Amino acid sequence: MLLFGEDATMPAPTIITAQQLARRIGLPDAPVLIDLRTPEDAAADPRFLPAAIRRSHQDVADWAAGFAGREVVVTCQKGLKLSQGAAESLEGGFEAWRDAGLSLVSPAQVPPRDAQGRTLWVTRARPKVDRIACPWLIRRFVDPAAVFLFVAPTEVAAVADRFGATPFDIEGVFWSHRGDLCTFDVMLDEFALHSAPLDRLAMIVRGADTARPDLAPEAAGLLAASLGLSRMYRDDLAQLDAGLALYDAFYRWARDATDETHNWPAARPA
């Protein structure tokens, strides 16, 4: 399991700092993040780094092969013996991340996982805006292995019951619109995932999903792209894959490129 950092400022080849890791989380090429904290440490503060997977340091040999060839970062409570004995590690561990004020996911509302450790979600077929934005948020910041089912609106409740899936973005369920907020907003609240880029993206999603394009200039463009994708794909899962790339781009813009403009032709001297 090899970790390649962004630059030469790493304190050691097998160490990544909290700020360097924060720049990677949420991106499609983010490393697998494995939380090796002891049960006692995790119970003291059950929050977890975005998209982290819980594993035990005591049976590394049993699970390590499943990540062969992938970029992996492991973290324990302080970034000392447990993580450094397993693989490349987060400098200062969970405590350094927490003390830096970086996002930690609240586990209170994370649905139960299946036998393979995945959360399972279900919503209406032919997804638009919220029903692509929410899977993007879950895959990038909560559960990278999450599974999504798209079914006829009348079948959502039955499928949820039959497969133990969590329904979202339909009326009358926990994960749905609340007042002026769309489901994406609700997930940011409940998972405690607020950050400047995600809040900026949420405003765009809300504007596109609730017919309020005045909320953000980009909302109309997101709606147009979402409707276009829905016409390009008959398979909802194929559309989801394409839509994830769309939200990756919007997130990267919201994080890094909001001040950049483009114009042509360039201004000429008088």
Per-residue model confidence (pLDDT) at position 224: 98
Q: Render pLDDT for 188-246 as a digit per residue (tens, 0 to 9).
A: 999 999 999 999 999 999 999 999 999 999 999 999 999 999 999 999 999 999 999 99
Residues in Cβ contact with 200 at an 8 Å cutoff, skipping those fewer than 6 apart:
216, 254, 258
Each residue's pLDDT tens digit, 171-194:
999 999 999 999 999 999 999 999
Neighbours of 71 (CB within 10 A): 16
pTM above 0.85, yes or no: yes
Of 45-59, 153-167, 252-266, the range with the highest mean pLDDT is 153-167
In terms of pLDDT, which residue wins out, 191 or 61?
A: 191
57/166 Cα distance (integer angstroms): 30
Q: What is the pLDDT of residue 9?
A: 44
Neighbours of 103 (CB within 10 A): 18
96-149 pLDDT per residue, tens: 999 999 999 999 999 999 999 999 999 999 999 999 999 999 999 999 999 999
pLDDT of 265 higher than 90: no
Tell me the average pLDDT across 6-10. Answer: 39
87: confidence class by pLDDT, cuts 50, 70, 90: low
Q: Which of 28-32, 81-85, 102-106 has the least mean pLDDT?
A: 81-85
> What span, in angstroms and rounded, lies between the C-alpha atoms of 22 and 4?
14
Minimal CA–CA distance to 95: which of 116, 80, 108? 80
Span 7-32, average pLDDT: 81
